[in-house]
Amino acid sequence: MNSASANGTFRCCIAGGGPAGIMLGYLLARTGVEVVVLEKHNDFLRDFRGDTIHPSTMEVLQQLGLLQNFLQRPHTRLEIARVRFGEKHYTIADFSTLQVTCPYVAFMPQWDFLDFMSQAAQRYPNFTLRMNTEATGLIEVDGKVVGVNVSTAQGSEQLHADLVVGADGRHSILRTASGLHVQNIGASMDVLWMRLDKGESSDEAVFARMTAGRILVTIDRGDYWQCAYVLPKGHYEELKSRGMTGFRSNIAKVAPALKDQLHTLKDWDDISLLSVRVDRLEQWWRPGLLFIGDAAHAMSPVGGVGINLAIQDAVAAANALVPPIRLGQMDNGILTAIQKRREPATQKTQSMQVLIQNRLLRKVIDGAVAPPLPMRLLNAIPCLRRYPARAIGLGIQPEQVAIGRYFVDASGG
Ligand SMILES: Cc1cc2nc3c(=O)[nH]c(=O)nc-3n(C[C@H](O)[C@H](O)[C@H](O)COP(=O)(O)OP(=O)(O)OC[C@H]3O[C@@H](n4cnc5c(N)ncnc54)[C@H](O)[C@@H]3O)c2cc1C
């Protein structure tokens, strides 16, 4: 842990050491802003929550001069996304068409990415990362947020900051404490995440497998498949009541080539339920407080874009915050501008996700025997495949780091 502030007062205090919080912490630290990131866990090693590093994130790393080192870490690459429906393959996205430094989606455990970014940030003496430190509430004076209450193994304390950023994810405590209104957009499905050893199986690398009534996402992670089984919202207990044998046979039906590996699913502890939710704050800020990432807008797993949006939020926030925060001139206009910049992309992405989950995926899990029309079109007309690649790989509003404008190398090197 670096220590930037002896008296518990920072320019910026970020609650949450996920992709949004760590990236924002790094971006502020590199411009000399005294920033603390609070992470309630002791390390970045915890449940699977997406391993995708998008081309737009790698563009950001390139702009920061971090890409080469980052790509030294073990990862796999996806250039073409194929889906298998029954016996037939459908190509649905071609990332190699993107005009970017890394025209592919990289798969790397999220903890590796967070570890990489936090190590890079800790080169700056004005960056503090406090693990095992949970933000438990807001400190307010005359309606303005001026800090957070935190809980640590040593007890409670108060941290003060010119700006508090809630990057504490979809179950954000600070969001609840803020009293800001959350708009629930709804989700019609849930997802079960699990690992399947590859064993001797030499099944082809397809991104998802579908058959009437069943969808299994299969992300190739080298020696195992990271799998997501899609089910109608609220049906988990019913599925569970039919037993593990019934569940294994569901998977075998949608992915026959994986049936010899299903013994690795021993009991329900090997499976995590992601209760899908799609929501967003109507207003992303209050005086002295800003929300970004999942804390501002929980995303559906459709398209695997939550991490991308979280990072793009961090970049946009840093671009807007650095000059005023360094001068101690934070005001509500800046927070409004950040929301205005990021909200349209969030809204459009969530609308697309809801459309795909309700109109396309739901039809398949309800028993449609033919692949959805867009899948057939993308497969038949290759030039269309750049559009999903762009939406997933870059997002609707890719952000550029404001290189050079405010940069001071606070590390002195
Ligand atoms: C099972 C699963 C699979 C997913 N798959 C993908 C995928 O393939 N691709 C993709 O792009 N997205 C995926 N997502 C979504 C993605 O994980 C999120 O959109 C993304 O991580 C959001 O980043 P964030 O930094 O806003 O929040 P989070 O990643 O949720 O990070 C929040 C951090 O804050 C910490 N925290 C929480 N409360 C506090 C507190 N009070 N004080 C201090 N720290 C706190 C948490 O421990 C966590 O480290 C998946 C999510 C899940 C759950």
User: Ligand 1 pocket check: which of 168, 273, 277, 342 to mutate, most ligand atoms within 8 Å of Cβ?
Assistant: 168
Q: Name the band, by pLDDT with cuts 50, 70 and 90, for residue 224.
A: confident
Please identify, by atom number, the ligand 1 atom nearest to the C-alpha of residue 54: 11
Q: Concatenated DSSP letters for 24-49?
A: HHHHHHTTT--EEEE-SSSSS--S--
Q: 149-168, pLDDT tens digit by residue?
A: 999 999 999 999 999 999 99
Sketch the domain layout of the chain as residue ranges: 9-78+104-185+277-351, 189-274
Q: Concatenated DSSP letters for 98-135?
A: S-SSS-SEEE--HHHHHHHHHHHHTTSTTEEEETT-EE
Distance 300 CA to ligand 1 centre (A): 12
Q: 272-304, pLDDT tens digit by residue?
A: 898 899 999 999 999 999 999 999 999 998 988
What mean pLDDT do residues 244-264 have? 90
**Higher local confidence (pLDDT), 193 or 405:** 193
Distance 280 CA to ligand 1 centre (A): 15
Residue 115 identity = D
User: Which DSSP state fits 356?
Assistant: I
410 pLDDT exceeds 50? no
Number of Cβ within 10 Å of residue 252's Cβ equals 15
CB 22 within 8 A of CB 313: no
Lowest mean pLDDT of 40-44, 71-75, 123-127, 294-298, name the range.
40-44
Question: Number of helices (H) and strands (E), helices first, in the chain?
Answer: 12, 21
- pLDDT given at position 319: 96
371 lines ligand 1 (CB under 6 A): no
Produce one character per residue of 258-276: b if its CB has 16 or more CB atoms within 10 Å, e if not: beebbeebeebeebeebeb
| Fold observed for domain 189-274 | Alpha-Beta Plaits (3.30.70)
- Mean pLDDT of the chain, nearest integer: 91
Tokens of 37: 């990131």
Q: What is the CA radius of gyration of the chain?
A: 22
Q: Which residue, judged by its Cα, is nearest atom 10 of ligand 1?
A: 304
What mean pLDDT do residues 322-347 have? 94
User: What phi-psi label fits residue 180: left (phi over 0), alpha (psi between -120 and 50 degrees) or beta?
Assistant: beta
Which three-class secondary structure string do you get for 47-71?
A: CCCCCEECHHHHHHHHHCCCHHHHC
Distance 170 CA to ligand 1 centre (A): 7
User: What phi-psi label fits residue 179: left (phi over 0), alpha (psi between -120 and 50 degrees) or beta?
Assistant: left
Q: Which residue, judged by its Cα, is nearest atom 48 of ligand 1?
A: 18
% of the chain with per-residue pLDDT over 90: 74
What mean pLDDT do residues 261-279 have? 90
- pLDDT given at position 2: 42
d(C-alpha 111, C-alpha 26), whole Å: 16
Superfamily of domain 9-78+104-185+277-351: FAD/NAD(P)-binding domain (3.50.50.60)
> In 3-state terms, the chain is what percent helix, strand and coil (to 5)?
35, 25, 35
Distance 257 CA to ligand 1 centre (A): 31
- pLDDT given at position 51: 85
What mean pLDDT do residues 52-76 have? 95
17 lines ligand 1 (CB under 6 A): yes
